[in-house]
Structure 1
């Protein structure tokens, strides 16, 4: 019995020594990867969804198979070792003679390490990664696989970057080689040229070990990019490069909602039923169109006085049949006098509209557009959400709804 107790104590001492050695070789915030003889792997690191907590996530060849939460990195490492996992990179561990744990030899086993590396790259703790045809994109150390994640798995990581002046980017826990990043693409497709370009340029400037995309937009972004993000949203309401506009040989405009490898879903620009064609048929009928130029326009609205005529700019694109105007600052200030629910935030250089039926205010930051040969600073107040009109296109069937201001 005394011999058995001594063996148990020695094994425990070895685990403690190895755990201390593992933690001594990493920086705060880093993760550690492990493997086990049955083919399972594990990742230990900070819990991205709970501040101050840590997580042991177990994987098989299909993805995550369970996890355990602990109050410290040391406890998470102890649990991994207690479950028979061994560190996947023994070269970086200064064990000072501690070589054997539960009969397992801590050494560099190339095939297991490679399998672990592949699993950690392809299946990370930030949501589902099982997509049929993942996008490959260039990274600093080689191609990276861009996989889909659920927005809920990244809700705690408020976007702090804006990639390509287009996509909000959240940063998650990675390892000593870089961080995991998730790109919020909304209703775009990861293979669209502007999305891939934004991802590629961002990755070239950062240390990246894992890439995800999220088919949603963030509820909020970090204050450092808030103004830029509001401007991007305003521009997206009227920019065909972001709205994926196409036209047929008669000049009829359509707007693509999703462009897959086999099919394309689209609707008439400005509103209409969603239609679907094979990609081959769609590309035979429609071609990408250039951005319509902005021109001076007069804007009216049913909720304003009858004699209210607001000078603005428009490129002719519509939202559900309604105009999408861009106002210069003096006109926006005049509109603020007409609509008490609008205020100007000088620090953000943005107009804020309070909608009592919504959880958050609408923010309209400054947007620079080209009008002829000059650049004009504007504010797209209500573009893409309010029922603006031009005097020439008064609707004669559907009455405009009143804004809740």
Structure 2
């Protein structure tokens, strides 16, 4: 599957600091030290509806990590999946009377367009669930060989007790897991399961649903095993960062880790787990079930500057839960006008301090709000109270424009 086109990103004349991140698994700050290229996996969309701002906040948030690593001198291998066959997609396709393949392709293209507009760097490997089925089959066979897979009717389940480390990624106790599991796609009450928390790795063929041949019978992959197989294929074991929204901590990322660690007990699935907060609207988390969604494409089609959308997202730390307010968007439009005015002057307040502060802020657990405050201060100093530029740095605008794009993804 093809990704979206890569934007041209300037190369900075200075090197950024090494990046520290909040690790969900330990609850502490860590500084990943990549061995060779930095390896990043961010869980992708299930393409049954357009990209809403909750999605956008996650992908812009981890775009900051991609950029911060690059500015620190690392090559980055970034992998993202597309769950282009799954229950929500099939249900949506049936509801609107459209072929599921057509729906997946249409919404995936819309996602690409949104990511392009927001200047999110594309993954090196953008992999659909359908094209990864051979990888899934191989992984399920390895899990079978480890004795961790059993059959319930036509479905294959993974036994979570096969992973001694199960629960360490999320830090949840069993009671909390049992409460969350059915809310996020699990089936704890299914008869025949050995443990209520066991998850499907291969779903046997159902009438009217797509299915593929396998040694286990015709069917399709489970959700968690898809990401595990793709990550292992393109990043190997113990890759640097597994990332996604905080709603993926359990069960998705816990199950992914379990699959990988049973298939290869010699190494953890990922070294660090990093999660983005949830975005709300009208008093609740954005969700398709509630219908309280704000779509990136709708804003773009209303002639809203995509850089203003990105700026609103950057005003909130990636790990925080926050609520989208339309007023923030119009404030961002006004802010961009001021920033562009300052950049158009060429000369301005000294650029060295603001460049250093932006890079330091993003190395500090991707603290984009702190970085934006530094740029706000530079703009204020450049324009001055009387609207005249401080000409102490004749090339200030070039340096600030470069760091805005390279570090924050804002092309002004």
TM-score where L is the length of structure 1 = 0.23
Higher share in helix: 2
Bigger radius of gyration among the two: 1
TM-score where L is the length of structure 2 = 0.22
Higher share in strand: 1
